[in-house]
Amino acid sequence: MLIHRKASKIIKDNKQQHTENQAPERKFSGLMFLPVFLTAVCILFTVLMAGYILWFDKGSFQEETEGETYDRYYMMITQEDQSGFWQSVYQGAYERALQENVYVDWLGKDSFRDYSVAEQMEIAIASGVDGIIVTASEAEELTALIDRADAAGIPVVTLYGDNTQSARCSFVGVGSYNLGREYGRQALKIMRERLVGAAETRITIKTPEEPDGESPVIAAAGGAEMAVEPVEIGTADRPVRVTLLVNPFANSLDQNILYSGIQETIEQERGDTVVELSRQSVDDTNAFSVEESVRDIFMGGDVPDILICLNELNTTCAYQAVVDYNKVGAVSILGHYVSNTILNAIDRGVIYATVDIDTSQMGGFCIDALQEYHDLGYTSQYFTADISLITRDNVDGYLRGEEPENVE
């Protein structure tokens, strides 16, 4: 039985017990504080028992891994486990850990649906692990938990999302600004290849009170007139619309830095082209919520010309929406990460390009940071994983397993 599954069962049992113990009616004013008291007791009991079980298993987990013995035990905590992205990150961490005679467990792999990152952090701290790897944000609650772990002698590495105000020993991710610059450069390429100088048809309805125009007019019922006229894309009348899909629950600082990279790159190189850059929040709690958010964009008035996605799920849902709403060629997608679906969409020209992150390297860096901190008492504040750009020009080689060149 896996360590974190035991802890999750204890938490679930105690939450259920807490629900059953709450009285449906409050007949006596003296019992008003009973639910509060029971809640506090259950929370304390949950943390202590989870910590005890994990501590007990930490001493015997060697027996559960085919008799192997390890020098240290690390725990990785993520917000979800559905994407190939996080599975690849964990695999990279796992393989690097074995080289160092270290065992790394993925707590979020089975418990993220029931327990928040903060709750999983509580379990990890109570267990007394040797190190924590966590996908972070700038939330104050997480800052306090990271500081608690550090005070308890447990080094914390923030992964992909940072918590800059905490005592974390290192951050492993990508250079958000450089990533934004690359997205900006690709957006400019799309503008030059597909948009600038092109025109779209604009239809306006003129009422009898309005003066007649010079544009072609088609008679309409009731005396109104419908004018059909071309409008050049990239002008003040019809700017190029670029939309970045952002996660409202993710690290806002990282997303702001990335957005700045896109904005500055486009502004520096757009010339006379008028560009309208915006952000659209997408709730990526699950696939259904992402699909709904993306479809709302396509059902709105001004559909973006370029859609920039920051994770695998958003990329896949954007691709599906472009196909479903017959916008292939009209909406260009800049994606994130790789999957067979994304690679095939690039090959067919539905997705313009995607950014691939060396997730195995990212997972390995997490282990390197924790090991270095244990051995030396310090480590690098930042580890930046390599990124590669996949387009229609090199997707065939990527499908054959060839390694693309890294983006500088």
| 324 lies in the same domain as 217 | no
What the block records as the tokens of 303 is 């559909």
Rounded percentage of the chain residues whose pLDDT exceeds 90:
56
Structural domains in the chain (count): 3
> How many Å separate Cα 41 from the centre of its chain?
35
State whether 316 and 206 are in the same domain. Answer: no
Contact by Cβ (8 Å): 326, 300: no
- Using 50, 70 and 90 to split pLDDT, how confident is the model at 408? low
Give whole-number Cα distances, 45 to 41, 118, 149, 268, in Å. Answer: 6, 17, 19, 57
- pLDDT for 143 equals 96
How sure is the predictor about 209, in pLDDT bands with cuts at 50, 70 and 90?
low
Whether residue 313 is found in the same domain as residue 346: yes
Distance CA 408, CA 389 (A): 10
More confidently predicted of 160 and 214: 160
Whether 205 maps to a domain, the answer reads yes
Same domain, 136 and 244: no
Rounded to an integer, the average pLDDT of 19-27 is: 41
Give yes or no for residue 110 having a pLDDT over 80: no
What integer pLDDT is reported at residue 372 of this predicted model? Answer: 97
Which residues are within 8 A (CB) of 354 and not within 5 positions of it... i.e. 6 or more apart? 315, 334, 335, 336, 337, 338, 342, 346, 389, 390
- Verify that 192 and 210 share a domain, yes or no: no
386-398 pLDDT, tens digit each: 999 999 999 998 8
What local confidence, expressed as pLDDT, does residue 8 receive?
Answer: 46
User: Does residue 25 lie within any of the structural domains?
Assistant: no
Provide the token pair at 25.
């009616």
User: Residue 405 gets which letter from DSSP?
Assistant: P
321 in Cβ contact with 330 (< 8 Å): no
Which residue has better confidence, 81 or 131?
131
Predicted confidence (pLDDT) at residue 210 exceeds the cutoff of 70: no
Q: Return all residues near 141 (Cβ < 8 A) that are at least 6 apart.
A: 118
What pLDDT score does 22 carry?
41
| Same domain (yes/no): 253, 285 | yes
Number of other CB atoms surrounding residue 330 within 10 Å: 14
Going by pLDDT thresholds of 50, 70 and 90, the confidence category of residue 264 is very high
Q: For position 161, what pLDDT does the model report?
A: 87
pLDDT, residue 283, reads: 81
Tell me: the pLDDT tens digits for 223-245? 566 777 888 999 999 999 999 99
Does the pLDDT of residue 20 top 50, yes or no? Answer: no
The pTM is what? Answer: 0.75
| CATH number of the domain to which 312 belongs | 3.40.50.2300
Q: Is 210 contained in some domain? A: yes
Say how many C-beta atoms besides its own lie within 10 A of residue 130's C-beta.
Answer: 20
- Say yes or no to pLDDT of 23 above 50: no
Picking from 32-36, 127-131, 344-348, which range would have the lowest pLDDT averaged per residue? 32-36
Report whether 310 contacts 246 (CB < 8 A): yes
Q: Is pLDDT at 249 greater than 90 in this prediction?
A: no
pLDDT tens by residue, 36-52: 455 555 555 554 555 44
- Residue 68: per-residue pLDDT: 73
- d(Cα 77, Cα 116) in Å, to the nearest integer? 10
Instruction: Give me the domain span that covers residue 214.
Output: 199-232
- 14-18, 119-123, 263-267, 359-363, range with the lowest pLDDT: 14-18
So what's the pLDDT on residue 30?
Answer: 46
Looking at per-residue confidence, does 25 or 118 come out higher?
A: 118
Q: Are residues 280 and 313 in the same domain?
A: yes
Q: Which residue has the higher pLDDT, 205 or 131?
A: 131
Q: Is the pLDDT of residue 405 over 70?
A: no
Q: What is the pLDDT of residue 1?
A: 31
Task: Give the range with max mean pLDDT: 180-189, 250-259, 282-291.
Answer: 180-189
pLDDT higher than threshold 70 for residue 182: yes
The partner residues of 230 in beta bridges, in order of sequence, read 201
Does the pLDDT value for residue 216 go beyond 90? no
Q: From the CA atom positions of the chain, what is the Rg in Å?
A: 26
Assess whether 290 and 156 both reside in one domain.
no
Q: Are residues 335 and 187 in the same domain?
A: yes
More confident residue, 297 or 108: 297
Contact 57, 34 (CB under 8 A): no
Residues 129 and 273 in one domain: no
pLDDT tens readout for residues 306-343: 999 998 899 999 999 999 999 999 999 999 988 889 99
d(CA 282, CA 246): 6
The chain-wide mean pLDDT, for the chain, equals: 81
Are residues 69 and 114 located together in one domain of the fold? yes
What is the average pLDDT across 197-223? 60
Does the pLDDT value for residue 344 go beyond 70? yes
Each residue's pLDDT tens digit, 77-93? 987 766 788 899 999 99
Sign of CA dihedral 226, 231, 233, 239: negative
Looking at the fold, whether 190 and 279 belong to one and the same domain comes out as yes
Residue 395 counted as domain residue: no
- Give the integer Cα–Cα distance in Å for 293 and 314: 10
Does residue 397 belong to any structural domain of this protein? no
Specify the pLDDT at position 289.
Answer: 87
The answer to whether the beta carbons of residues 161 and 258 sit under 8 Å apart is: no
**Domain-embedded: residue 391:** no
The residue among 248, 50, 79 whose CA lies nearest residue 159 is 79
Q: Decide if 283 is inside a domain.
A: yes
**pLDDT at position 248, please?**
77
